[in-house]
A and B are shown apart, each in its own frame.
Chain A
Amino acid sequence: MPNPETAEDQPRQMMGAPYTWMLRASPLQWVRPYWHKPLGLTTITAGALLFPIISRNDANIDSAANALAFAALALGLNIVVGFAGLLDLGYAAFFAIGAYTYGAFASFQIEPAWSPFWQPFEWLGLVAHMGDVVHFTVSFWLMLPFSAAVAALFGVLFGAPTLRLKGDYLAIVTLGFGEIVPIVARNTPSVTNGAMGLNGVAAPQLFGWSFGVNATPYYYVGVALVALLIFCSTRLKSSRVGRAWMAIREDEIAAAAMGINRVKFKLLAFAMGAAFAGATGTYFVAKLQTATPEMFMFPVSVMILVMIVFGGIGSVWGVVLGALILQILQSWFLEDLSQWLHVLGRLVHVDWLQRVELSSSIEMIFGVILVTMMLYRRQGLIPATRPVQALSMTEQTAHVGSGGSSHNFDRLRGLGTLDREADEPLLAVADMTVRFGGLVALRSVELTVPSHSVVAVIGPNGSGKSTLFNAVTGLVTPDAGQVRFAGESITRLPPHRVLDRGMARTFQNLRLFPGLTVLENVMIGRHARLSTGAFGALLRLPGTKREEEAAREHCLEILSVFGNRLLPRVDHVVSSLSYANRRRVEIARALASSPKLLLLDEPTAGMNPAETQELADQIKGLNQLGLTIVLIEHKLDVVVRLASKVIVLDHGEKIAEGTPDAVRRDEEVMRAYLGRSVAVA
């Protein structure tokens, strides 16, 4: 057995001189830029722009324009399903809303009686006075963003009541919405012309020239639309907003605990996805110049889902590719393939081969593709996650540097600093009671944590320690009790607000975002301290860029707390890390929110004595910087080393409190911890 003294020395010995340069070099060296290769982009753009000139076949260009509409839809659904992980089975509803928004206005379906009310609109050129009625003449180009906004509004309306639901329930509710919207369209003929569908939807005009039925201009509008949506998707994905979505997808509870307002970001995903579909609906209906309820039924939602599954859920370029391939398969290839089969049938005299019509079985093919992809290639054609390069042997063995020295901490700004120093304890929990069914998990627990102290909570497994953390951070609603933090009551605040106030935590069973990288995990921890919203992410103004840069740098500095244990692995998916490193990432993620108070739930569980010692040193270092810490810990040597005060829980009740020394002499503690033999002895 290593004795504690040598264990304490170990990290210092391991941080040999040859590796000190690692600490001095900029942490940014570990980050690779990940924008797309310009050459590929140029080729794709050129191909897309030149296609009609090369093809010259109006039918082909028309199919391509349709395919682009579905690529746009796939991009929208990808935001909801791929980024935020919300399975939406009624996505065609938003497509329908966008289509009818333009269609109803552009087909003279709605003709209100003329009144002076309309006069200003006529001056603006939005309506025309025709006899006694109003004709809407709003331009297609104006309707495009307007339909997007209307669809987004419906996205929020549909989403708001349902987003609290578990993933699978959400799916069935969206399926219902997808069924309802065509029913409403069919049953409100005044707006939609019912089952007959809208007719004579006006074609878009550009500088007075009408697109008419010529496919080429629609094709270019489609290219522009898809390009715009790809741009929006990639910008959103690599922003604070995209990270928040992915966090929700990976682990909702952890996302909330890291300061992400789940309702807000889920609604944003819904609205954003709906907006994409709304704009696409307008484009599609303008191109077809008609809209019927049948165009937006469940099979359309499924088709879009198949496209993103095929291309790669969450992968922007993947879903575009998936949509294009499946659409082109449908409109070009199946016809040809059927013809070939007929010829083959005639040659070999097989009757049924001559009658095969593959294009009518396209939906069957979609079903088969969906099941096959789910069974054999869930990541799709172009997987969303980047492959991780493994560390070389030297890298793996070399970087065992310690972060324990204060050298690394100099750069950590604002950790644990309080707005105002008060006599009041930083955290005060009073009379906290939590019940689960009949079981009392916590009974009237009191806890005070002075500023800049380390308080340890100990007690046997099942004594309520983690429940105390959950109740304090808002993950569990207490049945009674108050929590005051930094002079204000935070009782019953939702978890993301608690984090926002400056209280961050780790979890006993680790709740990292498993599919994301180390740096992404830590950047999500920074979420509450950043302000970029959807528009900021799309525009990416210099301010936003600076914020991202600063956040990245800040997170790398925090990772440097652990020496070189994590820095070489910033781009590794966390599920590939060792247990000890996962624990470190979780602490780094919590630290990234610049907390005043850090709650650590068994930070050293699963670590060997040397690692435990190293982490204890690092925690000590953080505390010396001013950070207040509450820690649940079973390893009593760690408790003794770090804590100035110990709280002992047993059966949900506080049975002792005091200095480590006083607590270990307490008879009741001995009974709880040590059982009969000691108590009797």
Chain B
Amino acid sequence: MPELLSFRAVDTYYGDLHVLKAVDYRIDSGEIVCLLGGNASGKSTTMKAIMGVVVPARGDILFEGSSLAGVSIAERVRRGIAPVLEARRLFPRMTVYENLEMGAYTRVRGPDFDEDMERVFTLFPRVQERLKQLAGTLSGGEQQMVAIGRALMARPKLLCMDEPSMGLSPAFVEQVFDIIQTINRQGTTIFMVEQNANMALSIAHRAYVLQTGQVVLNGPAAELRQNPMIREAYLGEMNVS
């Protein structure tokens, strides 16, 4: 499979803080790759670096083989990278429809806009029912559907999801992960930061483990699930010695 996104020895800083330290990732077309790590390990910074909100101090990020250095956020979205932000981050006082419109902000409004809208409605029938409602009045689960729908409106090649399961009920988490798999099968590559490691590893093809800004482990998801360190640190199998 061709490489879609890669980090080449990326360093980022936040003020004096060295956040990402010579990080390498490679995500191929069609994959679901998940990024594991504790809070403050640099996961969200990774997402921000992909979108261009955080600019690497050193190293390069490549998308479809060309560098993203100096590429505006809008251009990144246009090239096919769309984010599902941590904690949904919908526009609370805009309607669901307007939120979806904002997802397609960088595109010229044409017939494919309606096509994509239909695709979102097929994936999330509930969203269609709530189109006129203000996004802030939806339940957490419904908001997550709109957030994913909003990202899909950009017709992305790569969907970057920051903690899609956060704050959702267990039943709903399963539903979201099913939908992520469906989206992936329809041809969208997925790069996902997730706390719920077990869940994430169960649908991912590969995974990276990030610790204090460094990749300490990576490999096929199935292998990582058997790794004792992962089992202890992220899968909650506490070895009380």
Contact = CB atoms under 8 A, between A and B. Distances in A.
A356 B39 CA distance: 63
Contacts of A463: 167
Contacts of B165: 460, 675
A674 B235 contact: yes
B238 A460 contact: no
A635 B202 contact: no
Interface string A664-681: 100000111111111100
B114 interface: no
Interface in B157-175: 163, 165-167, 169-170, 173-174
Nearest to A675: B199
A91 B191 CA distance: 55
B40 interface: yes
A636 B236 contact: yes
B163 to A, nearest CB: 6
A602 interface: yes
B238 A675 contact: no
A634 B235 CA distance: 11
A106 B87 CA distance: 65
A521 to B, nearest CB: 16
Contacts of A439: 140
B34 to A, nearest CB: 13
B95 interface: no
A460 B195 contact: yes
Nearest to B16: A576
Contacts of B217: 1
B221 to A, nearest CB: 11
Interface in B127-144: 136-137, 140
A605 interface: yes
B47 to A, nearest CB: 14
Interface string B201-241: 01000000001100011000000000001001101111010
A678 B238 contact: no
A231 B9 CA distance: 54
Q: Which residue of B18, B38, B173 has the most chain A CB atoms within 10 A of its CB atom?
A: B38
B236 A462 contact: no
Interface in B163-201: 163, 165-167, 169-170, 173-174, 177, 195-196, 198-199
A579 B45 CA distance: 14
B196 A605 contact: no
A506 to B, nearest CB: 13
Given A607-B212, A677-B198, A677-B202, A664 B236 contact: yes
Contacts of A661: 238, 240
Given A579-B40, A636-B236, A661-B240, A460 B216 contact: no
Nearest to B170: A671
Interface in B57-73: none
Contacts of B233: 635-637
B15 interface: yes
Nearest to B173: A675
Given A675-B198, A678-B198, A462 B167 contact: yes
A637 B211 CA distance: 15
Given A461-B39, A462-B87, A661-B240, A651 B199 contact: no
Interface in B19-57: 38-41
Contact of A636 (B16, B18, B216, B238): B238
Contacts of B212: 579, 606-608
B108 interface: no
A517 to B, nearest CB: 14
A676 B216 contact: no
A571 B199 CA distance: 46
A214 interface: no
Contacts of A52: none
A675 B147 CA distance: 22
B238 A637 contact: yes
A201 B27 CA distance: 82
Nearest to A463: B167
Given A461-B166, A463-B167, A579 B202 contact: no
A574 to B, nearest CB: 10
B40 A651 contact: no
Nearest to A514: B15
A650 B196 CA distance: 13
A640 B240 contact: yes
Interface string A573-610: 00111110000000000000000000000101111110
A676 B172 CA distance: 11
A578 B17 contact: yes
A438 interface: yes
Contacts of A85: none
B215 to A, nearest CB: 12
Interface string A556-585: 000000000000000000011111000000
Contacts of B87: 462
Given A460-B196, A461-B195, A635-B233, A676 B202 contact: yes
A577 B17 CA distance: 8
A634 B39 contact: yes
A587 to B, nearest CB: 15
B138 to A, nearest CB: 9
A462 B198 contact: no
Contact of A664 (B18, B40, B170, B238): B238
A94 to B, nearest CB: 37
Contacts of A678: 198, 235
A664 B236 CA distance: 8
Contacts of A675: 165, 170, 173-174, 196, 198-199, 202
A673 B236 contact: yes
B199 A606 contact: no
B206 to A, nearest CB: 17
A660 interface: yes
Contacts of A438: 137
Contact of B211 (A608, A640, A664): A608
A261 interface: no
Contact of A579 (B17, B173, B199, B240): B17
A555 to B, nearest CB: 23
A460 B197 CA distance: 11
Contacts of A508: 39
Nearest to B236: A673
B146 to A, nearest CB: 15
Given A461-B195, A606-B41, A660 B238 contact: yes
Contacts of A605: 38-41
A554 B202 CA distance: 51
A664 B202 CA distance: 20
Nearest to B212: A608
Interface in A348-364: none
A672 B173 CA distance: 10
Nearest to A582: B17
Contact of A575 (B15, B18, B195): B15
B232 to A, nearest CB: 6
Nearest to B92: A437
A673 B41 CA distance: 19
A245 B169 CA distance: 44
B214 to A, nearest CB: 8
A651 B211 contact: no
27 contacts: A438-B137, A461-B166, A461-B195, A508-B39, A575-B16, A579-B17, A579-B40, A602-B39, A605-B39, A606-B38, A606-B41, A634-B38, A635-B38, A637-B232, A637-B238, A640-B240, A661-B240, A664-B237, A673-B198, A674-B236, A675-B173, A675-B174, A676-B174, A676-B177, A676-B199, A676-B202, A677-B202
Given A609-B211, A651-B169, 9 more contacts: A437-B136, A439-B140, A462-B167, A579-B40, A636-B238, A660-B238, A661-B240, A670-B236, A672-B170
Q: Which 10 A-B pairs have the closest CB atoms?
A: A606-B40, A462-B167, A675-B199, A605-B40, A605-B39, A462-B166, A677-B202, A674-B198, A608-B212, A1-B229
Interface of A: 1, 437-439, 460-463, 508, 575-579, 602, 604-609, 634-637, 639-640, 650-651, 660-661, 664, 670-679
